Amino acid sequence: MSDFSKPRIQVGTTQSDPSISIEVLANGPYKVHGAPPMRIQTITPNETHNSWSFTPGEEFEVKDGTLLCRCGHSRNKPYCDGSHRTAGVDLTETASMAPMLNEATEMDGPKYSLTDNEKFCAFARFCDAGDRFWNEVMEPGEQHEKMAVRIAHHCPGGRLMVWDQQTRQPVETPEPAELALLEDPALGVSAALQLRGGIRVQSASGDSYEIRNRQTLCRCGASSNKPFCDGSHASIKFKDGLTG
């Protein structure tokens, strides 16, 4: 079992208040420790119809011990109502405990480098803005540099990171600890549960996953990288019913 006093923290990430964490219950829901704020965040496109920003919506109460649905079948979403017991959804965790960067690819541009681990793609499509993320990093000029950083910081699952070529450090800033119920109206679906601000996720095994600034957890029950989102909500047309 991991030593929780010294959890693995991704370079560039500032851990939240350690009293805030998410515990993955075996074959069950997410248990929230602490009381981070949680609200709907809607993925909003720009004039070229690319994902561009998050529009905040309704807030939901979270207190220490709140149980959040991860099977996709609760009739009281985002909260658990026990439906996982009869839903027939396999909630076994399959994600690696290894640092995300271990399996990331790297590209070097004139000022920034990028790292990309597709296993953590939440299919929010912010990477398609501008000239697309992979091109923005490679193209010289302040406009492209700013766009590359913007895209990476909007990537909800944290698969994309931008690194300063001179310092070899990621371009990251501390973020407040918060939970977001992502909605994707462009696809007509509800998306992942996003964690921002270095929130620790504890496996049902008792070990902790790497702490990262941005993470997305599956709440449709269909991800092949549980507990993390892999974009499967889009293919199964998951709807939580929270926005009508």
| pLDDT string in tens for the chain (244-residue length) | 344 457 899 999 999 999 999 999 999 999 999 999 999 999 999 999 999 999 999 999 999 999 999 999 999 999 999 999 999 999 999 999 999 999 999 999 999 999 999 999 999 999 999 999 999 999 999 999 999 999 999 999 999 999 999 999 999 999 999 999 999 999 999 999 999 999 999 999 999 999 999 999 999 999 999 999 999 999 999 999 999 7
Tell me what pLDDT residue 4 has.
47
**Contact (CB, 8 A) for 176 and 196:** yes
Number of Cβ atoms within 10 Å of the Cβ of 220? 27
**Contact (CB, 8 A) for 163 and 115:** yes
Distance CA 200, CA 46 (A): 32
Tell me what pLDDT residue 1 has.
37
Tell me what pLDDT residue 7 has.
85
Estimate the share of the chain in helix, then strand, then coil, as percent rounded to the nearest 5. 15, 30, 55
Cα–Cα distance list, 103 to 26, 52, 75, 116, 161 (Å):
26, 27, 37, 8, 13
Q: What residues contact 166, with CB distance under 8 A and at least 6 apart?
A: none
